[in-house]
Amino acid sequence: MFIDIPRELESALIDLPLPAWKLDGSFLAKSTMERYQAELTAATPRFEETVATLRHALAGEGAGYAVLRLGNLVKALGADDERFLRLATGFAATVGAPFSPFPRWPLWKDIGVKVDKDPGKSSGIGYNAFHMDLVNASRPPDFTTLLCVRPDSLGGGHSILSDAHAAVARLSEDTRALLAESAYHYGTFFDLFGVGEEYKPFPVLDGSDPGEGFVRFTAKMLERSRIRQAHANAARELAEELVCGQVSFMLQAGDYLIVNQRRYLHGREALHIGQETVPIADRRLLLQMFLRAGTGDGSVA
């Protein structure tokens, strides 16, 4: 679901000087959320219309992700302008409570391109396979969001998304039974905030009714964790179904991708070859922020 911002709303937002945000721990303060929502709503009725479309895209039947097209705001304000980030944060706060699970990072975390990094990592240059963020946390973020500051100038790095519950529904009962067992583990767990405790081992399917709950999956666990063969095979079957059902698109400057982690898994195609020839200041850059549903006005959980 791509959501264009009405011109009337764009014009109102360009001239709207939202105040600097305040944090309560690692969460956006409730007072800031209320202030942003009040000022954005008062700017023009088109804001509430756009937010209603956004919420439906994230929580409506068969939905689970949305891309807000804020490109004209980037052109008018500049991606590095604090006013633009406040506007993006204001939109996010209509979905859930923005927060950073990493106390050492700011509310928005940079995801740049490092040619010497593990290619499969978010800041690497290779294929970033399907996954949910904070898969080994007892309370993963309900939403993961990515704001595109600069796309890959060489034309690679398409975002990929797949309906996790639809993929699970295409599996056999035996495979689903294996995925429902607490037999999976991945990654480390330290210095985190607002995501509960470490969940290890964890089931891929959390026992909720079909089509509900998290599908705790990351393809990286198949290469980097020791998992019994039967359980690994079941996870590989799921990985194949995720690829079969994927959608792919290129985020442009100002595109704001919001993913409901209870519905969709995400990843990224490899960046185009030749990244080492691109100056660091011109390489692909995303900003990431997480949302907790049910703790802010207007959340869609």
pLDDT at 282 over 80: yes
Q: What percent of the chain has pLDDT over 70?
A: 97
The answer to whether position 106 is within a domain reads yes
Q: Is the previous residue joined to 6 through a cis bond, with omega within 30 degrees of 0?
A: no
Q: Could you give the strand order of the β-sheet that contains 159-163, starting from the edge strand earlier in sequence?
A: 128-131, 264-268, 159-163, 247-249
Cα dihedral sign, 261-267-56-212: negative
Q: What average pLDDT does the segment 27-44 reach? A: 96
Residue type, 53: T
Q: What is the pLDDT of residue 299?
A: 40
Q: Per-residue pLDDT averaged across 109-136, rounded? A: 94
Question: Does residue 83 form part of some domain?
Answer: yes
267 found inside a domain: yes
Taking every pair of Cα atoms in the chain, the longest distance, rounded to a whole number of angstroms, is: 58
Q: Which residues sit opposite 262 in a β-bridge?
A: none
Does the pLDDT at position 294 exceed 80?
no
What is the reported pLDDT for 207? 78
In a domain? residue 193? no
Q: Which of 71, 84, 157 has the alpha carbon at shortest distance from 119?
A: 157
d(CA 130, CA 268): 8
Residues 198, 188: Cα–Cα separation, whole Å: 9
Mean of the pLDDT values across residues 284-294?
94
**pLDDT surpassing 90 at residue 225:** no
SS (H, E, C) the chain: CEEECCHHHHHHHHCCCCCCCCEECCEECHHHHHHHHHHHHHHCCHHHHHHHHHHHHHHCCCCCEEEEECHHHHHHHCCCCHHHHHHHHHHHCCCCEEECCCCCCCCCEEECCCCCCCCCCCCCCCCEEEECCCCCECCCCCEEEEEEEECCCCCCCCEEEEEHHHHHHCCCHHHHHHHCCCCECCCCCCCCCCCCCECCCECCECCCCCCCCCECCECCHHHHCCCCHHHHHHHHHHHHHHHHCCEEECCCCCEEEEEECCCEEEEECCCCCCHHHCCHHHCCEEEEEEEECCCCCCCCC
Mean pLDDT of 262-270: 97
CB 75 within 8 A of CB 37: no
Q: How many domains is the chain built from? A: 1
* Whether the Cβ atoms of residue 166 and residue 264 lie closer than 8 Å to each other: no
The stretch 187-196 carries a mean pLDDT of 92
Separation between Cα atoms, residue 148 and residue 255, nearest integer Å: 5
pLDDT at residue 296 in the model? 43
Please state the pTM of the whole predicted model: 0.94
- Structural domain boundaries enclosing 110: 2-164+244-292
**Residues above pLDDT 90, as percent of the chain:** 85
Query: Is 279 within the bounds of a domain?
Result: yes
- Checking if the pLDDT of 45 tops 60, the result is yes
In a domain, 301, yes or no: no
Asked if residue 98 belongs to a domain, the reply is yes
65-69 vs 255-260, strand pairing mode: antiparallel
- The residue whose two tokens read 């081992």 is 201
Over residues 154-171, the mean pLDDT reads 96
In a domain, 119, yes or no: yes
Q: What is the CATH number of the domain that holds 98?
A: 3.60.130.10
Residue type at 223 in one-letter notation: E
Q: Taking the CB of residue 2, how many other CB atoms lie within 10 A of it?
A: 11
**pLDDT reported for residue 264:** 97
pLDDT band at 51; cut points 50, 70, 90? very high
Place of tokens 């800031």: 32
Distance CA 193, CA 27 (A): 9
pLDDT at 259: 98
Tokens of 203: 């089931």
In the predicted structure, residue 171 carries a pLDDT above the cut 70: yes
pLDDT at 297: 39
What pLDDT, on the 0 to 100 scale, is given for residue 301?
A: 43
pLDDT band at 59 (very low <50, low <70, confident <90, very high): confident
Give per-residue pLDDT as tens, 64-104: 999 999 999 999 998 888 999 999 999 999 999 999 999 88
